[in-house]
Each structure stands twice: as structure tokens, then as C-alpha cells.
Amino acid sequence: MSEASVAVHADADLLAQAVAARLVVRLLDAQAERGQASMVLTGGRIAAAVYRAVAALPARDAVDWSRVDVWWGDERFLPAGDPERNETQARAALLDTLPLDPARVHPMPASDGPTGDDPEAGAAAYADELARAARPGHAALPHFDVLMLGVGEDGHVASVFPEHPVHHDTRPVSAVRGSPKPPPVRTTLTLPTINTAEEVWLVASGADKARAVGMALAGAGPVQLPAAGVQGVSRTLWLLDRAAAAEVPPRLRSLR
């Protein structure tokens, strides 16, 4: 697994623009290598800013979006179209502006979808969808070129929260009940699934994230601080603004 590297940008706006540019380049590189690309999306304020920045980039048109698979790292178990769903946010900020193949866009189940108001059934259905997209005979999961994560003030990533039973779930996708952050019911990729991604990017902005970011990079335990348990196969990249990087050891920083 990869060692973590850190890139620090002056403020949240520059961070969003930098992550957007990196994302376009990563997708182009993947398509040059494999003929297709895949990305796993996250939610939150900085993620929405990244998606808007991608939408505004002229270089986005260099990507063959019809050959991009879109997945989600976690989702709030709410009705389709609910403004609190990560899918709704991503569609409004970016996805609805792109010429994507609808069959390659894979939102997590909604509470009013075919699996009904049962998050365990929704998690199982998403695991089945992941398995169907994997190469036959090769893996239980598809290839993820880049998986983006936000970082919570408590160090959670996706909907893997500190000390939560989801840490002990070895399945690819887990239902989350009793989330300490509303809404209380969610679905999430588990840490073992997250760590199969070729590259994992942890994107954080704001002083309220500084303690969690600093503790994760200092080697905190993943059960107590889930962000500390994230590692991409070839690259683990922390993309931060200066406020979020305030407690990062100087030797780890790469200022931009």
C-alpha cells in the first residue's frame, strides 16, 4: 500500500480548483492506459466546490465521459432527489452537465427505490452492482482509478465513523444505523473496499478539520480515527487548504 503525501493550497477556492484539475488529468491518464476510467465520489461542501470547478474547466472536454464509471463512497439513505443526498449534490454541480452514459452512473440505493426502506437490502444491492462491474474471474470489485473522500471533524470518512460497528463489517458495502451525524441511516463502502482504489484522495478544508487531519497523519488508530486507516494501492494523497493543514507536521507538507 502507498505512503501518504500531502499538498497544501492557500484557501478553499484554490484547493477546489486544484483538485478539479487533478481529477481531469487522472481520468485522462486512466483512459489513455485502459480505454476507460472510474471515479468514486464523495459529498460535502468542498466536494461540491470541486464538482463545480470541474464543470467550469475547459479541459473537461478532453475526457471521454461516455467511458467513465461513476460510483459513490457513501450515501444518506433518503428518497431519490432529496437535496441531502450526495447523488443529488453531484448531479446538480457536475454530472448533469456531462455526456455520461447513464448505465455507467451507479448511485447508491434510495430509501424509496426498488430495495425499499431497508438500508441492509440497499447495501447488499450495491455490493451486487459492484460485483457485476468487476472483471469476471478477477475480483469482487471493479477497478477504481480515483476515490475521493471528505474528512469529518471527528475523522470519519465516507460514513465510517469512529468506534462504529461498521469497522467490523468485512462486506464491501455496509448499512449504517445510528450515525452520529444526521441523517442517522446511511450506506457506505467499508474501509477494505475503499483501500482497493488505485488512488485515494482525502480532501479537507477549514480549521475545524485541522485536528483530525493532524492526528490521522501522526498515526492515530483507524477505529478511533477512520481517516487514519485509508490507503490507496498506488497513492494516498491528502489535499488540504492551509487552515486544514495547520497541525500537519511541516516535513509532510508540499505547499502550492
pLDDT value at residue 104 = 98
The residue whose grid cell reads 490507496 is 232
What residues make up the domain containing 193?
A: 4-253
Quick one: 198 exposed, middle or buried, by C-beta within 10 A (0-12, 13-18, 19+)?
middle
Q: Considering only CA atoms, which of 70, 97, 74, 98 is closest in space to residue 85? A: 74
User: What is the value of pTM for the model shown?
Assistant: 0.96
Distance CA 143, CA 178 (A): 30
- pLDDT tens across 43-68, in order? 999 999 999 999 999 999 999 999 99
Mean pLDDT of 14-20: 98
- pLDDT tens across 90-109, in order? 999 999 999 999 999 999 99
Q: Considering only CA atoms, which of 250, 175, 194, 65 is closest in space to residue 202? A: 194
Indicate if the pLDDT at residue 69 is higher than 90: yes
Q: Kindly indicate the confidence band of residue 249, based on its pLDDT and cuts at 50, 70 and 90.
A: confident
173 close to 189: Cβ distance less than 8 angstroms: yes
Q: Kindly indicate the confidence band of residue 146, based on its pLDDT and cuts at 50, 70 and 90.
A: very high
Residue 226 neighbours by CB under 8 Å, 6+ apart: 155, 156, 157, 160, 161, 162, 167, 191
Q: Which three cell numbers stand for residue 250?
A: 511541516
Provide the number of structural domains found in the chain.
Answer: 1
- Sign of the C-alpha dihedral computed for residues 100, 106, 111 and 116 taken in this order: positive
Q: What is the mean pLDDT of the chain?
A: 95
230 close to 150: Cβ distance less than 8 angstroms: no
pLDDT value at residue 256 = 54
Indicate if the pLDDT at residue 137 is higher than 70: no
CATH of the domain at 163: 3.40.50.1360
Phi first, then psi: what are they for 95, rounded to 5°? -60, -35
**C-beta neighbour count of 118 within 10 angstroms:** 15
pLDDT value at residue 3 = 83
Q: Which three cell numbers stand for residue 149?
A: 473522500
- pLDDT tens across 109-132, in order? 999 999 999 999 999 999 999 999
Coil, helix or strand at residue 235: strand
